[in-house]
Amino acid sequence: MTDSKNFEVIIIGGSYAGLSAAMALGRSLRSVLIIDSGLPCNRQTPHSHNFITQDGEKPGVIAEKAKKQVLNYSSVKFLSDVAVSGKKTENGFAITTQKGQELEAKKLIFATGIKDTMSEIKGFEECWGISVVHCPYCHGYELRGKKTGIIANGERAFHLASLVNNLTDNITLLTTGKADFTEEQEQKLDKHTIKIIEKEITEIEHQNGYIKNVVFSDGSRIAFDGVYATLPFTQYSDIPIALGCELTEHGYIKVDGFQKTNMEGVFACGDNASMMRTVANAVYTGNLTGVMVNKELTDEQF
């Protein structure tokens, strides 16, 4: 529970983006409350990469260190809870939590991330973030030179194949159905000896999340060292939409160059507002958001 009920800023989501925003605001002596459920989307991922000074560190270690540093700023408070609803008020916004807290703030920052819609393939969820991964920039170096599968089709599969091709010359596209490529794309895939398998996948055999084989509907199986996959997603929190925030055609919260949504006083940062799903980008957009929220408060008060 938190003693105070009123803040200048409430940040919903206390992972990399939310903590980064809170640090910028805390250093400007803004009264801030971070509300976080403790369930980051990368909680299964063993190591974080492509984030300078923290390359190879466990994601939870980075987040815990960040939280400790942010809470050194006395005007920043942290609440372990889930924000379940929000509404506009005369002076800003009111947020209600799962544990029944009623909290108010002049500004809202959503750093709530996105929720992957897991494939129904047996073993997929257990491997997600460990050996079935989404991003060559986050995981590709560790799969360099290894036997790699890509569970995708069409333009997305072609794009991933082009990126992964620089990391390994052993790539197989697993389209789980009839391949959907243009003639030009097929020629390029053939040129780089990228194989295509159209059979349906029924299972990913693994040990503690590390892939062993991809099993197909005809009973055949192929061993892989790692697999890329693309998943549909939904916003982790439905509060931004309920408040009137617009989404992009891809399902992200629509923000301007300063992370501001179409709703006055509401900002969004991190994975919920960007296709660039990396720790580094979350930290950057969070920092920018904190700076811009402080500027907006300053302009209103000075």
Q: DSSP letters of 275-297?
A: S--SHHHHHHHHHHHHHHHHHHH
pTM recorded for the entire structure: 0.93
Cβ-based neighbours of 245, under 8 Å, separated by 6 or more: 110, 253, 254, 261, 262, 263, 266, 268
Is domain 124-229 annotated with CATH 3.50.50.60?
A: yes
Over residues 161-171, the pLDDT tens digits come to 999 999 999 99
- Whether pLDDT at 1 is above 60: no
Domain map (residue ranges) of the chain: 6-116+232-301, 124-229
The second-level CATH assignment, the architecture, of 6-116+232-301 is: 3-Layer(bba) Sandwich (3.50)
Whether the per-residue pLDDT at 43 is higher than 90: the answer is no
Bridge-based pairing state of the strands 6-12 and 32-36: parallel
Per-residue confidence band for 2, with pLDDT thresholds at 50, 70 and 90: low
pLDDT exceeds 90 at position 40: no
pLDDT at 45 over 60: yes
pLDDT (tens digit, 9 = 90+) per residue, 173-217? 999 999 999 999 999 999 999 999 999 999 999 999 999 999 999
96-124 pLDDT, tens digit per residue, is 999 999 999 999 999 999 999 999 999 99
pLDDT at residue 42 is higher than 80: no
Do 6-116+232-301 and 124-229 come out as alike in CATH topology? yes
Contacts of 206 (CB under 8 A, 6+ apart): 123, 126, 127, 131, 212
Phi, psi (rounded to 5 degrees) for 61: -65, -45
